[in-house]
Amino acid sequence: MSTRLPEWMTRDLSLPRLRRYIRAAHGDARAAERLYWWNVEVSAALVGPLHCLELALRNALHGALVRHHGRPDWWEAAPLNERGRQLVESARRSCGRRLRRTTPDDMVAELTLGFWVSLLSTGYDRHFWVPVLNSAFPHYRGPRARLYSDLTSLVLLRNRVMHHEPVHHRHLAADHASIYRVLGYLSPEFAKEAQAMDRFPDVLAARADVVRGVRPPRF
C-alpha cells in the first residue's frame, strides 16, 4: 500500500483537499489518487442531468409565475421574502455589469437554482405553491414538502459538483434517480431524452475498477 501521493498532486491540488480522499481510501495514497479522479469523472457525468433539471425547473416555475402575475418580470410584483428580494437584486446587479439592457430572460438565467427551489419552501406555501406552482409539476401528485426535500438535496449535489467538491461519499445512485424523478414530474419527454444520452450509470458501475486500478479514470 502506497502512503505518499505524487508531489505535484499535493502541490497543485493541496494536501488539505486530498486528505478527504486519503481518509476514504483508508490511507492508501494510490487508491486515494484514483478515487480523486473518479470523483472528477462522476461529477462530469452528473453535469448533463443536472443541467436538464435546472433549466426545466426554472423555466416551468417562471412560466407559471408569468401566467399568474401577467408580466414577464413577475418578481417585481410577487410577495418575495427578504432573502428572495436580495437574490433578485444580486441577479440584477450581475446582469447590469455584463449587459447594457437587462431583459426578463437575462434575469431568469442569472437567478440561482437555490432561488428557484426556495419558491417551493414552507414560507411560500400559500403565496406560491397552492395558487400557482403546483401547476408547474403536471405529473406530480404528492405533497409540496416531499418535492422540496428532493430539490434541496439536489441543490447541495449541484453545488458540490460545480465547486469541484467530493461527491463520492453520497448515495449517488439515489441522487441520480432523484434527478430523473423530479425531471419526470416536469416533463417526461425531456427526462426520456436526457436518459438516452446519460453516461452516469456506466461511470458509477466502474467505480470499484477505477479505485483498484483495473480501469483508468476518464473525463
When pLDDT is cut at 50, 70 and 90, the band that residue 4 belongs to is confident
Average of pLDDT values for 113-138?
97
The confidence score (pLDDT) of residue 94 equals 96
Contact assessment for residue 83 and residue 118, using Cβ atoms and an 8 Å cutoff: yes
When pLDDT is cut at 50, 70 and 90, the band that residue 1 belongs to is low
Cα(161)–Cα(187) distance, integer angstroms: 24
Residue type, 135: S
Question: Any idea where the domains of the chain sit in the sequence?
Answer: 45-204
Averaged confidence pLDDT in the chain: 96
Q: Positive or negative CA dihedral for 20, 23, 29, 30?
A: negative
Contact assessment for residue 160 and residue 166, using Cβ atoms and an 8 Å cutoff: yes
pLDDT digit string, tens, across residues 158-216: 999 999 999 999 999 999 999 999 999 999 999 999 999 999 999 999 999 999 999 99
The confidence score (pLDDT) of residue 114 equals 97
When pLDDT is cut at 50, 70 and 90, the band that residue 31 belongs to is very high
Task: Return the closest-CA partner of residue 181 out of 14, 56, 37.
Answer: 56
| pLDDT of residue 34 exceeding 80 | yes
Q: 204-207 — which CB contacts under 8 Å span 24+ positions?
A: 204/42, 204/45, 204/172, 204/173, 204/176, 206/38, 207/38, 207/42, 207/168
**Where does 111-170 have alpha helices with state H?**
113-118, 144-162
When pLDDT is cut at 50, 70 and 90, the band that residue 130 belongs to is very high
Average of pLDDT values for 3-22?
93
| pLDDT of residue 2 exceeding 70 | no
Q: Look up the pTM and report it.
A: 0.93
pLDDT digit string, tens, across residues 50-97: 999 999 999 999 999 999 999 999 999 999 999 999 999 999 999 999
